[in-house]
Amino acid sequence: MKLFFKILILLLCFACEDNSRDNKNCRFLLSQGVNHTENLNLVPLNGLSTGSAIVLDVPNTRGIIVSNTGNGTYLAFDAADPNHALQTCSTLSVNYPIGTCNCEDGNRFSLLDGAPIGNENLLCPLTMYRVSVSGNLLTIFN
């Protein structure tokens, strides 16, 4: 009976797979602390209508893309393509609801969820930040 349990434990140990989401290919962007607040009634956010996005100049980032998805819901993503080392071309251009990398590969991402579009070989989605709205203030943080 002891032998049975030893074999069972060994089988369970070797049957487990690693569920880690830490992809070594997604380590191009540094994990920088972001805590940035903007007034929704002032430039640049006062022109952010439903179904649109803008890029904010935020320290320690390549910019942060803020999109207004409607009903007071905002999303925020780092404007750098996480599938590249930081370069001038790796900053995304925004044409809502798509962000496009300016490097030769032209990687495209959804600004609704950060997922890559049209290239199943891309392993890294956009880096998403948390967003909080309190009154007229929109705070982006991680």
Its pTM stands at: 0.80
Q: Is residue 20 part of a domain?
A: no
Q: Is residue 117 part of a domain?
A: yes
- What does the DSSP assignment read for 50-111? TTEEEEE--TTSS-EEEEEEETTEEEEEESB-TTS-S-GGGBEEEETTEEEE-STT--EEET
Q: Is residue 109 part of a domain?
A: yes
Q: What are 37-64's pLDDT values in tens digits? A: 999 999 889 878 899 999 999 988 889 9
Average pLDDT, the chain: 85
Tokens linked to 49: 């209508």
Q: Indicate the pLDDT class of residue 95, thresholds 50, 70 and 90.
A: very high
Q: Where in the sequence is the domain holding 101, given as residue range(s)?
A: 33-141
Q: Is the pLDDT of residue 19 over 80?
A: no
How much is the pLDDT for 135?
93
Q: Is residue 115 part of a domain?
A: yes
Section 113-140 average pLDDT: 94
What gap in Å lies between CA 139 and CA 114, rounded to an integer? 19
Contacts of 30 (CB under 8 A, 6+ apart): none
Q: Specify the number of domains making up the chain.
A: 1
What gap in Å lies between CA 96 and CA 117, rounded to an integer? 13
What gap in Å lies between CA 59 and CA 44, rounded to an integer? 16
